[in-house]
Chains A and B, each alone.
Chain A
Amino acid sequence: MSELLKNIIRFILLILLQVFVLNKVMLHGFATPYLYLIFILLLPFGTPTWALMIYALLFGLCLDLFMNTPGMHAAACVVIAYLRPFVLNLLSPQGGFETVKKTPSVTSMGWTPFMTYAIILVVVHHIVYFSLEFFDLHNILLLLVRILLSALVSLVLIVLYEMLFAPSRR
């Protein structure tokens, strides 16, 4: 299957999964998992930054359409799309990642770099999204608790996603 088709399917399925399943989940009144941002994490290595940001914008706006959060998910997605190349650069070994595998994943990067990459972007995304949702700082403790717990749950789901769907090394 071509990468383009794969990403289109992932785009649609992740939005439906997020809107109809994960948004209904709330653990202990604090943590809602946001798995959808794995779409941006898994875009191919070679995608130019401007294209990453346009995809992130479209993806975020589609989510906002369903969730009545105009601009919030879009802003958070665009921020991590912009940061993605920098983070990948920092983590890439000398000579870059194996280019045979075209997308970032556990198999193409290895567990430690991939998890560092995911943790940085998930935390940044959650900070941007929850700050926009709260929009004031007088409840900063609740804000931090929500960011940390939600990021934790989202990361667990990302690991599960990777274990299920990551291309196996041959």
Chain B
Amino acid sequence: MRNLIIFIRRYFNFFLFLVILIFCLSLVLRRNDYQRTSFINSANSVSGYFFRKYNNIQYYFHLKKVNDSLASLNANLLNQLPVDFASPDTTSAVQTDTAGKRQYRYLPAEVINNSVNGLMNYITLYRGSDQGVETGMGVVGPQGIVGIVRRVSPHYAVVMSLLHKDMSISAKLLNTGNFGTVKWKPGSSGPFYGILKDIPKNVAVHRGDSVMTSGYSAIFPPGLLVGYIEKVNELSASNFYEISIRFATNFRSLQYVYVIENFKAKEQHDVESTLPHE
């Protein structure tokens, strides 16, 4: 017994080191758990407070860009108003009754922290569970999609950015409708490029084609812009292209985004989970 105590005292530092290191590594390994909320994330009130203060200052430097993107978004929406579509037949009109059929709702949110430099980039929003944000909701910016909500606190939400090495979303080509997966390509190209996979080689793809969300995942509605095709690589050993795309969203200058609430997400998950897993 005495020897044991002497032994432990002698190597006390080493044991303490091991204990602390195991604690840290367990935090690292738990980061991918969807449900268990880790307390080390920026959706807490302390870092939220600092990020909000910082953002209040930094915000002024981006006002022009924010205005431009909001104005172009407004113009897009104005062009979809019913009054823009004149019809020669004024005696009968199609009434579109949308009551009770709404599937998606967009909640505006302010970006208070944003990183683009790491391999796992997250965005903090000043809008949380008290304002209706839940984990698993999609986030879209004025130019294109941004990410998926991973953690919420009463007033803040942390969004896993598209610029995250574990992020992949389902996307399709606007022209042909073929769908594949989009992942970020980290490296020297910075926060601009991704890779679209699983598009078969018999499909005609061209530089500049739009890549949209497919709407299969219940997170994003179909038809939101993901990016544009930049370069098409034909891999000789595979039947699929490897297409590099340029993201529509400029992640460096995000100020306002929209969190997408899908009212039918639960229903879709429930009916999909009734299938036996074989």
Which residues does A use to contact B, with CB under 8 Å?
A: 16, 19-20, 23-26, 28-30, 32, 49-50, 53-54, 57, 60-61, 64-72, 74-75, 78-79, 82, 132-134, 142
A16 shortest CB reach to chain B, Å: 8
Tell which of B42-50, B135-143, B263-271 binds the partner: B42-50
Does chain A have a CB within 8 A of B24?
Answer: yes
Tell which of B9-17, B75-83, B215-223 binds the partner: B9-17
* Chain A residue nearest to B165 in the complex (CB): A134
Does chain A have a CB within 8 A of B237?
Answer: no
CA distance A79 to B12 in the complex (A): 15
Q: Does the CB pair B16–A65 fall under 8 Å? A: no
Q: Does the CB pair A71–B25 fall under 8 Å? A: yes
Q: Does the CB pair A133–B120 fall under 8 Å? A: yes
Tell me which residues from 111 to 136 in chain B have a Cβ below 8 Å from any Cβ of chain A.
115-120, 122
Question: What string of 1s and 0s marks CB contacts (under 8 Å) between B1-19 and chain A?
Answer: 0000000000011001100
Given A53-B17, A67-B115, A70-B31, decide whether A29 and B24 contact each other with a Cβ distance below 8 A.
no
Given A66-B42, A70-B31, decide whether A75 and B12 contact each other with a Cβ distance below 8 A.
no
CA distance A20 to B112 in the complex (A): 12
Residues of chain B contacted by A20 (CB below 8 angstroms): 54
CA distance A78 to B21 in the complex (A): 7
Q: Does the CB pair A82–B13 fall under 8 Å? A: yes
CA distance A64 to B31 in the complex (A): 12
Q: Does the CB pair B187–A29 fall under 8 Å? A: yes
CA distance A160 to B116 in the complex (A): 26
Q: Does the CB pair B25–A66 fall under 8 Å? A: no
Residues of chain A contacted by B118 (CB below 8 angstroms): 32, 67, 69, 133
Given A71-B40, A75-B25, decide whether A65 and B20 contact each other with a Cβ distance below 8 A.
no
CA distance A67 to B120 in the complex (A): 10
B29 shortest CB reach to chain A, Å: 8
A18 shortest CB reach to chain B, Å: 12
Q: Does the CB pair B24–A68 fall under 8 Å? A: no
Q: Does the CB pair B26–A133 fall under 8 Å? A: no
A-B pairs with lowest CB-CB distance, top 9: A71-B27, A75-B24, A70-B40, A71-B28, A26-B117, A49-B13, A71-B24, A68-B122, A70-B27
A75 shortest CB reach to chain B, Å: 4
